[in-house]
Structure 1
């Protein structure tokens, strides 16, 4: 009876202490800001789909899809400079990498509108400055090929936004929201 009780308590403790699927999927570093929302943008018709379950940076013969990534900072005091990182979890079943496996990351003037948009006529993707080109691979952080990964951290109460774009002529990079993707970090 004692053995059975100890076994049951041990199993209960192990399952209670097990991390949630989302908490273990991002890099385990102390200073990380995950996206608040990701949205898709289509160059075919200018439509924005707000708060999508997966990010996509794909270029095909019929057009391009990029991912608009918004970070909100409601209450933290962060340093001035953050670093942009792009992570693909090795266990994320939603990860797809085809073509050059390269993405370009741009800053955006503002994040995607909550209602999205049905097509051309605004607000558009709000693309601003080029951060750099990254080589992605499943199971780790992307390698910066060129550019400067240092960007402005969002101050308390602010948001910052980015766009993840495919780099080659026939490319596709996909990831599951909450498990992989763009994040900010600082020292």
Structure 2
């Protein structure tokens, strides 16, 4: 398999509520090439085998990522041993972990925003996260509002830095209510 090439595993297995996160990419490991799926009803990420004939994923190993949100488990998987590669979904969820780690937005909002920015559709996001499409809309709206507020804040800080301390004091005095 060449770099940036994903193995042929389904991105979602509906019967198992399983989302393809990545695969073991360590030639030294006996698990090399095995897929990793996040299984919603089990609340965790698992490495195992995929049977094409049965269209079934058989979990064999839990890489010690249990507990926490999907993106937290993806981050633990990405930074684990043996080496792994993330699928398109896995990369988006890893980005969601970084967004949430900034403490600017909630974890579900981060999941939706990162998946949306990775060009997943509304219905794909709902399927990946096992939520209703209307919930996707709500989280996206809230996350976008917070992201816009953060951009405005950063722009204001840059504006203040460019003006210098004396202009800030002067502007504050001009806009402050009269104390008389």
With the length of structure 1 as denominator, give the TM-score of the two structures. Answer: 0.26
Structure showing the higher strand proportion among its residues: 1
| Larger relative contact order (CA 8 Å, sep ≥ 6) | 1
TM-score normalized with structure 2 length: 0.26
